[in-house]
Structure 1
């Protein structure tokens, strides 16, 4: 399967679009923060590290083979201001599985942007790419993330306790998922 979405993806308040090199400063504003990096695999990023990440993301816009990623900038339509990012990773070709993820600037949290953007990306995965199951995972302490998963209609499928060392501590992780047929009933 090859899948190239038609960009931008526009919702009532947001535009999901491929990253550009001009996004480095806006991404650095939130990716340099300790509170944002707390539950991410990466530590807070320097501007140079953000520039390298953006350079990779510019090319992550379509699926050609298992493991490919679609990583999109999320910006407010009204102000054309970048507020976060969404990702969809093609995890299994045979089982038609994907993984969704998000990172939002704390200044823009609590407005429903992540829910709106995630619904658009779920539609892209299920209806555009033809995925059967999309899952998400988060640190069990990341209440806002797992609550978002529940708002999206995802079900908690697993709670892994002390399954890996994460930033020097034992990690607890939740796995949530949604099937295509469940998405259609939303």
Structure 2
């Protein structure tokens, strides 16, 4: 399987595209925030760290081998503002499994943008990449994230209690997943028209 999507990917209200060097300030506007970093592995990033992260992401636009990442900027179509990012990681070639994630600026949360962008990514995962299963995970306290997974039709498969130290405290983590056949049966009811 090799997946080279044609960019930009357009949804009803969004444009998903590769990152560019010009995105540094917009990414720093959310990745530099403590409230955004709270549930991420990284602490808030400096502007220079954002620039380095974007430099890596510029080339993460296809899935050619297990371990590859597809990380896309999410622009609001009406304004062109960068609202956040979505990612799809090819976790297992043999089992045809992927992992997805998202990070959005708080100003763009609660508007359905993350659901719309994540649904577009699930279409890539199941249509173009022909994955069998996609999972996502989040801190159990991150209700916005696990509710998004549920809106996508994903089911909670695990709740790991105090399974590791995360930023100096015991971590509680939820794992959600969806199978290709489940997504195909429901995707038209989830995607905005």
TM-fit CA distance, 1:109: 0.5
TM-fit CA distance, 1:124: 0.6
Structure 2 match to 1:157: 157
Structure 1 match to 2:21: 21
Alignment of 1:43-62 (within 5 A): 43-62=43-62
Q: Which runs of 4+ in 1 moved over 4 A?
A: none
Question: Is the partner of 1:27 in helix, strand or coil?
Answer: helix
Kindly indicate which of the two structures has a greater share of residues assigned to strand: 1
Instruction: Supply the RMSD in Å over aligned alpha carbons.
Output: 0.5
Structure 1 match to 2:189: none
TM-score w.r.t. length of structure 2: 0.96
TM-fit CA distance, 1:2: 1.4
Could you report, residue by residue, the CA deviation over 1:81-104 in whole angstroms, capped at 9, with x for unpaired residues? 100000000000000000010000
For residues 174 and 156 of structure 2, what CA distance do their matches in structure 1 show? 7
| Alignment pair present for 1:139 and 2:168 | no
Structure 2 match to 1:73: 73
Question: Is the partner of 2:164 in helix, strand or coil?
Answer: strand
| Alignment pair present for 1:83 and 2:83 | yes
Unaligned runs of 5+ in 2: 187-193
Unaligned runs of 5+ in 1: none
Question: Is the partner of 2:172 in helix, strand or coil?
Answer: strand
| Alignment pair present for 1:34 and 2:34 | yes
TM-score w.r.t. length of structure 1: 0.99
TM-fit CA distance, 1:15: 0.2
The number of residues matched between the two structures is 186
For residues 124 and 138 of structure 2, what CA distance do their matches in structure 1 show? 21
| Alignment pair present for 1:2 and 2:2 | yes
Question: Is the partner of 2:7 in helix, strand or coil?
Answer: coil
